[in-house]
Amino acid sequence: MRIVRILTGTLLLLGLAVSPAVADSSPSASSSPEADGPTEAGTSFRTAAEVDQGTKATAQGSTGDYMYWSFPAEAGQRPTARAVVTLPKETASASTWQLDVYDGLRRRQACQYGAQTRTAATGAATVDLSCTLRTVRAWSEPWANDPLPGTYYIRLTATNLATGDRGLAFGAETEVESKDIGGPAAVDGSLAEPLVPGIAVTSAQSQDSDDSTDTAKLFSLEPDGGWGSGWWSDRWVWTGIGGLLAALAGVGGYALTRGSGRPAQVPPGH
């Protein structure tokens, strides 16, 4: 019974000590988006407007044009990109809108779920689009198309427009939020550099020159804490708990099975 009480007390102490760490790494939506993001969108990957996660971006454009935004995503995050398109009142027919997400290598990423493409009926005021990516991995095989840490691009456009509806003014509002998946998404490996356009060139130039003004990246935003901040996860916590419980189980089993430690009494005459 003493061993049982010791094990019970140890488990309670572990639960109290680990609960804050588990709460921090559990999936949770980021803070509500702010309204101080960029008010213009880019027209290509190179001119994409930079927007941080949790910040709203707005833009005005003409139907038929492409709009581009870029944002950073770190390992362990599951980003969700959303867009609200305010349709022109002069629209004479239905229109189809699409939201695509590309990674730093400009590979189109599949949406795990969400309404990536929607058709707005004639007279509709707005259309809502969303795309939730797969969890960003810290490392992947070169041939795989897994999401990796680095820059991501949002592209918004109308894929089906009547000829008379082209060139009409419309408004767009985008935002990106992420959930921290934590230990279930952890892998044993990491990239040497995040997939940020120009970062490899910048690193090489920094080694050859002491003047930082000679270097430039095509994307300047970073996750909170910088790149590589997602190395910690609750996987470390549960691994430690498992090792400690195994040790306690070994000690308890030994204490229960070792006996009294006295040599067996041999009856007289034997």
Residue ranges of the domains in the chain?
36-227
Residue-level pLDDT at 60: 95
User: Out of 3.40.50.300, 3.40.50.1370, 2.60.120.380, 3.40.1190.20, which CATH number does the structure's domain 36-227 have?
Assistant: 2.60.120.380
- Contact criterion met (CB below 8 Å) for 219 and 42: no
The Cα 206–Cα 214 span in angstroms is 8
What pLDDT score does 197 carry?
82
- Is the full-model pTM beyond 0.85? no
In the prediction, which pLDDT does 32 show? 45
Q: What is the pLDDT of residue 261?
A: 57
pLDDT at 63: 92
Identify the segments of the chain with pLDDT beneath 50: 1, 4, 7, 11-14, 16-33, 200-207, 209, 211-216
Q: What region, left, alpha or beta, does residue 24 occupy, with left being phi > 0 and alpha being psi -120 to 50 degrees?
A: alpha
C-beta atoms surrounding 225 within 10 Å: 10
